[in-house]
Chain A
């Protein structure tokens, strides 16, 4: 299934741009972010979590690439986690967010579109998670550089490496 890479034991699953994946501990999920936003949702007790690599805030009716848009990827990610937990995740899911960088001016005639997309992605994801009463435990958003994100499903720890920078944990 597109965008839904199920992981086996101890695996590191790479989540490509515009895709999402769900895994159980001890698997880890990783992705590389620029202006896109990485949405981590997990149930620490159930030891199941997922990661979506959001490209754009709204699908505007497009159905071909549900992992690309916040309004289709986030519900799909949550539904798959809940399915894996057999409905036991109610009230236990939490989230962490990273990404949304603005890296360089892209010039006319639409100079602001790409610069703003990270912020719009962030806002869309916040709204979607709030509507589902999923608390956001940590955010690492904005700035001018890329992020290499690694999510450990067992602990819920998200490690973020930046070009030439030290690794940080949220």
Chain B
């Protein structure tokens, strides 16, 4: 089965995910004390094999903060990063020279989780305004779980809900861009709606007057 995402539906999805990215950029810049932009790089609708490579080679180890969605949408948000990029984040937040942290400790993990929480909440708040239910229904992430996992295993699990219904799965991918020289923000944000939310987004919203 396919969701047949194309044309106006894809443009609509991109538009609402970009609203989410704008909201997250503002909040993240404030949190990090430096200008950071989230850029929606792709709305991918691909088969499971291709989707399992969205974070690089499937057997590569990545760190990721995984959050579920609570409210009018279901699914997952993953903030994934290589160790080096995650540790650089902790250094920035703790006002240490980038490169100080060389392994994950309590402070580093806490910094990653809190950042994921801020990105997730602000992304979803901005995005919720463009949902049919409107901003009245609070859309929020669950508390982040920090995992060190094979990239392919992580995606396999996150995409499972969609795979129950569809042969092709949809994920929205955003990359980070930092103005500050030397700050490695090689992070990836993935929003993976569950099948019910995906059907709602792709089937019901196309006639919405707010559709760009």
Contacts and interface: CB of A to CB of B under 8 A. Distances in A.
Interface of A: 16-19, 32-36, 55-56, 62, 64-65, 68, 101-111, 113-114, 117, 145-148, 163-164
B202 interface: no
Given A104-B68, A104-B145, A146 B152 contact: yes
A103 to B, nearest CB: 4
A109 B74 contact: yes
13 contacts: A19-B49, A32-B58, A101-B153, A103-B154, A104-B66, A105-B68, A105-B142, A106-B76, A107-B75, A108-B74, A114-B158, A117-B164, A164-B61
B150 interface: yes
A164 B152 CA distance: 15
Interface string B107-143: 0000000000000000000000000000000000110
A19 B52 CA distance: 13
B152 A32 contact: yes
Enumerate the 10 nearest inter-chain pairs by beta-carbon distance, A residue then B residue, closest first: A107-B68, A146-B153, A34-B156, A34-B153, A104-B66, A34-B157, A107-B69, A146-B150, A103-B157, A32-B152
How extensive is the interface on chain B, given as a class? Answer: 35 or more
A147 B59 CA distance: 9
A103 B158 CA distance: 9
Nearest to B1: A62
B75 A32 contact: no
Contact of A107 (B58, B74, B153, B157): B74
SS class, residues of chain A in contact with chain B: loop
B14 interface: no
Contacts of B197: 109
A111 B58 CA distance: 25
B167 A64 contact: yes
B156 to A, nearest CB: 4
B150 A148 contact: yes
Interface string B177-209: 000000000000000001111000000000000
A65 B197 CA distance: 24
B75 A113 contact: no
Interface in B49-92: 49, 52, 58-59, 61, 66-71, 74-76
B101 interface: no
Given A35-B156, A163-B61, A164-B148, A107 B164 contact: no
B163 interface: yes
A65 B164 CA distance: 12
B158 A106 contact: yes
A104 B66 CA distance: 7
B149 interface: yes
B161 interface: yes
A38 to B, nearest CB: 11
Given A32-B58, A106-B76, A111 B68 contact: yes
B11 to A, nearest CB: 26
A101 B66 CA distance: 15
Contacts of A55: 48, 160, 163
B181 to A, nearest CB: 32
Nearest to A121: B160
Contacts of A145: 147, 149, 153
Contacts of A109: 74, 194, 196-197
A75 B182 CA distance: 54
